[in-house]
Amino acid sequence: MPTAVPGVRQGEQRIFISYRRGDTQWVAGRLADSLVAYFGDSRVFRDVEGIAGGADFGDVIRDTLGSADAVVVLIGPDWLSACDDAGNRRLDDADDWVAHEVCAALEAGVPVYPVLVEGTPMPRAEELPESLRPLTRFNAISIGDSRWRDDVTRLAKIIALDIPSATARQLHRVNVLIATALVVAVALTVATVIGNLLVASSTLTDGRGLPYWALNQLFESAADGRCVNPPAPWFVPLSTAWSGVIFLVVVPASALMFVFARHIDPTRRGYFLAAAWAGAIGAFTAFMLFKPVCEEYEATVIFTMGMLVATLMLALMSVSGFREK
């Protein structure tokens, strides 16, 4: 009984590199490594590394092209003119895999990126088999050894318009994580406040209303640290410990944002850093208020500070867009 052989390595194979081995094999290997560094591991496929031993080459290529989101066609000096042993041009051969790959990508409507190696001119439509002539409608990109880094970076950014880079995906995950954590912390704290206020109002018997809101009442305390003019009991709707839950999210979120700030588009980085600084300064200020604020007002002040800081961070994060540089 035959054993099934896996065709490709596990993971998303999103970018397919088509090349002719005798023409641009060295470029394909180097380009694959560069694109992996930009888009992430297991997102770039080329036949030498991507096909397991024993797998059917044709089946793997067809399956991979069928699920690809972008196809890079490396065109070197011999890509157009390469001939077989009988002197027939290989692009005209019905069994030529390079022609098969490009034709399949064109028929599938996958974004195709012709890449001209070391000054190779773009083939003219009349030089190509009829099935490959649509290739000339795509803008070609040139790459060369002497300017490799700049050329590959430009190519990667163009491809990233269709496929997000590894950094962009990472920034998206950080954005979702921070925003979700802040919203959940705020929602839980507000729900606790509302629940406690409802319970307190249903059992209110002393008839006291809102406290007189003079700012100095927050800081006037007796020798034992208690307020000279304490608020009504129902006006303290949560414990001091619970009031700081928001800052348990704000502090690590700010630290995470400082770490990822260097990946943000410079035109939006100011908003991103402002959100990080808002969290850091807000947390520090809230901590410092523990000493001057009298005990009965601590929870209310910390809760109010947390709500303001979290709201400001979410607003600034939204403006920054977590856009990759």
Residue type, 264: I
CA trace torsion 298, 299, 304, 307 (10° rounding): 140
Q: Which of 65, 13, 62, 17 is nearest to 41 (CA)?
A: 13
- Per cent of the chain over pLDDT 90 is 23
Q: What is the spatial distance between Cα 135 and Cα 159, in angstroms, rounded to a whole number?
A: 16
**Segment 183-194 mean pLDDT:** 86
Q: Over the stretch 225-243, which tens digit does the pLDDT of each residue have?
A: 556 565 555 555 667 777 7
Q: What is the spatial distance between Cα 228 and Cα 30, in angstroms, rounded to a whole number?
A: 74
- Comparing 164 with 181, the larger pLDDT belongs to 181
**Segment 192-217 mean pLDDT:** 56
Q: Could you tell me how many residues make up the chain?
A: 325
Confidence tier at 61 by pLDDT (50, 70, 90) = low
- Comparing 35 with 53, the larger pLDDT belongs to 35
Task: Indicate if the pLDDT at residue 203 is higher than 80.
Answer: no
Task: Indicate if the pLDDT at residue 172 is higher than 60.
Answer: yes
CA trace torsion 302, 306, 309, 312 (10° rounding): -140
Confidence tier at 130 by pLDDT (50, 70, 90) = very high
Q: Using an 8 Å Cβ cutoff, are 38 and 165 in contact? A: yes
CA trace torsion 174, 179, 184, 186 (10° rounding): 140
Give the E-state strand segments of 171-284 in sequence order: none
Q: What is the spatial distance between Cα 263 and Cα 322, in angstroms, rounded to a whole number?
A: 9
Q: Using an 8 Å Cβ cutoff, are 290 and 221 in contact? A: no
**Average model confidence (pLDDT) across the chain:** 77
- Comparing 47 with 182, the larger pLDDT belongs to 182
pLDDT at 219: 47
**What Cα–Cα distance (Å) separates residue 50 from each residue in 55, 152, 164, 168?**
10, 21, 21, 24
pLDDT at 134: 92
SS3 273: helix
Confidence tier at 308 by pLDDT (50, 70, 90) = very high
Confidence tier at 255 by pLDDT (50, 70, 90) = very high
Q: Which domains does the chain have, with CATH numbers?
A: 15-163 (3.40.50.10140), 167-320 (no CATH)
